[in-house]
Amino acid sequence: MKVCKKCGEEKPLDDFYRHSQMKDGHLNECKVCRRAYQKRLIEENPEKRAAYERARAQRPERKKVAYEVLCRWRKNNPEKAREQANRYPEKRRARTAVGNAVRDGILKKEPCADCGSEKVHAHHEDCSKPLEVEWLCAKCHRKRHVGG
């Protein structure tokens, strides 16, 4: 049994998260109080949480899991995957051509044309001219497409 420092209730150790730095190996707040605290933090700082989630999604292990989920979906839904892949064939050809050209050294990535960021995407004004690209970061690329 352990007393929660927030609510003051005595509860079994199973009601406390493990914490290696605590003397008894469990956090001194019960799970209910800790969840309420975490929920409040998220509600008070939505932009901070969004930034954290974006950064978390870029971690190699998260990208690997997302890729595995996508591969599983494609395997289980081949018709939908094919339909999605064939929806914009010209865009797909342009994207593939740019990737191949960058790989082969024909095209070289440049900083974002709008803000100078180094992490860029190839923006096509006309997909029928696949190697005529403007390099834009994700934020500026999104602005171009939504007209912002």
Dihedral of alpha carbons 96, 98, 99, 101, sign:
positive
Contact 94, 127 (CB under 8 A): yes
pLDDT greater than 80 at residue 91: yes
pLDDT greater than 90 at residue 146: no
Number of domains forming the structure of the chain? 2
* Distance between CA atoms of residues 40 and 89, nearest Å: 46
Q: Is 50 helix (H, G, I), strand (E, B) or coil?
A: helix
Q: Is residue 14 part of a domain?
A: no
Express each pLDDT in 30-70 by its tens digit: 999 999 999 999 999 999 999 999 999 999 999 999 999 99
Q: Is residue 83 part of a domain?
A: yes
Residues 106 and 144 in one domain: yes
Residues 52 and 64 in one domain: yes
Given pLDDT bands bounded at 50, 70 and 90, which one contains residue 147? confident
* Distance between CA atoms of residues 55 and 70, nearest Å: 20
Q: Is residue 108 part of a domain?
A: yes
**DSSP E strand stretches across 82-130:** 121-124
Given pLDDT bands bounded at 50, 70 and 90, which one contains residue 85? confident
| Whole-number pLDDT of residue 117 | 94
Residues 53 and 79 in one domain: yes
Residues 144 and 105 in one domain: yes
* Distance between CA atoms of residues 10 and 140, nearest Å: 54
The model's pTM is: 0.55
Q: Is residue 121 part of a domain?
A: yes
Residues 96 and 122 in one domain: yes
